[in-house]
Structure 1
Amino acid sequence: METPSSQRMLEIYLNDHLAAATGGVALARRATRNTRDAKIMPRLAAVAHEIDQDRRSLLEIMRQLDVKVARYKLVMGWAGEKAGRLKLNGALMNRSPLSALIELEALVLGVQGKAAGWRTLLAIAGQEPRVNADMLRNLLTRAQQQFDELESIRVQIASEMAT
């Protein structure tokens, strides 16, 4: 079996991250739309906007690296987010109080995955002149800030559920 070229592996890797980012944007928007806490909503909306911007940054990086978007993976990312809505959370027809917590946990994990992707791209920046290391460092910093904000919201929701 032939080993894929470095460019092909990069295409697969970036398209996998794009599929996850597509689902992440949809999840962040849904979590924002469904929050009932007036103090949390603007915080979530700000993070959702940044997650969308990060997806756009990924598309720009892919363009700079001549990586074609695999449309089928975008559909899979979108469909995966929709399928994630079908979970046993204690309420069959209505939104459960657990839904917000599960959504926040999924967003936290997604942001950690995104940060890992930025770190991977930073690791190859020395060999790939088309990769903008400063941009990636900024994206990595923003991912850490998103993680901190989402984790703070998640802990708040969890503590409110316990009371």
Structure 2
Amino acid sequence: MINAVTKTVKRARNGSVRGSGPTLLGVYLNDHLAGASAGAQLVRRMTRAHHGRAFEPQLAELTEEVREDLRSLRRFMDVLGVRRLRSRTAAGWLAERLGRLKFNGRVLSRSPLSDVLELEAMRLAVEAKADCWRSLRGLARADARLDPDRLDKLIQRARRQSQSLEAMRTTAATHVLSADVRADAAETRPAVVGTAGGGTAGAPRS
């Protein structure tokens, strides 16, 4: 992908990109812009859902960082002369909202499993963002308009964000699924009923 993007940039500089449609670089960055916009909306909703709970400080910090990352991506697009496509951004906006309908065991109310699914989705969004930073970092070798030091810092931050989300996801999954297993075991365990003779129901009589 990096080689294709690099070639597109060179063709654009030489005026050899045909047609008025977006270049490969434009399509690539707009796809990531849509994903980043959806991720920013998702993490804001997660922070609200975790108000007063253990993950709130970490998610609040992540919300600010994701907002900064989104601004960084927009600046990179401006520097590279990539036009933002509203249709793709809107598609990301819609996809995030449709994602709320993903099955989580409940129809109208928020399920405890929602925490796990949202943390998984957010970690995937961060991993995709890291891929974008790495692609631009490779492009920076051929395009002096990109700041490699800034991209290195963004890559490191995305790695830290992914690790933080994975730690929260593991904690949430263990808590939710363990509680579910215990509840299921309690429901299926046969009842023990005391008898007048001090034995238990079903115990053989001497």
Say whether the fold is shared (TM-score over 0.5): yes
Equivalent residue, structure 2, for 1:72: 87
Higher helix fraction (1 or 2): 1
Map 1:79-158 onto structure 2 (within 5 A).
79-158=94-173
Q: Secondary structure at the match of 1:69?
A: coil
Q: Give the count of matched residue pairs.
A: 161
The offset of 1:13, in angstroms, is 0.5
The offset of 1:87, in angstroms, is 1.4
The offset of 1:15, in angstroms, is 0.5
TM-score, L = length of structure 1: 0.94
Q: Secondary structure at the match of 1:129?
A: coil
Equivalent residue, structure 1, for 2:66: 51
RMSD: 1.6
The offset of 1:102, in angstroms, is 0.3
Corresponding residue to 1:26 among 33, 41, 57: 41
TM-score, L = length of structure 2: 0.75
Equivalent residue, structure 1, for 2:8: 6
The offset of 1:36, in angstroms, is 5.3
CA distance in 2 between counterparts of 1:103 and 1:6 reads: 35
The offset of 1:37, in angstroms, is 5.5
Aligned AA for 1:126?
R
4+ runs of 1 displaced by more than 3 Å? none
CA distance in 1 between counterparts of 2:81 and 2:72 reads: 14
Task: Using the aligned pairs only, state the percent identity.
Answer: 40
Q: Secondary structure at the match of 1:22?
A: helix
CA distance in 2 between counterparts of 1:128 and 1:94 reads: 50
- 1:73-113 per-residue CA deviation (whole Å, 9 max, x = no partner) reads 11111110000000111111100111110000000111111
CA distance in 2 between counterparts of 1:76 and 1:132 reads: 29
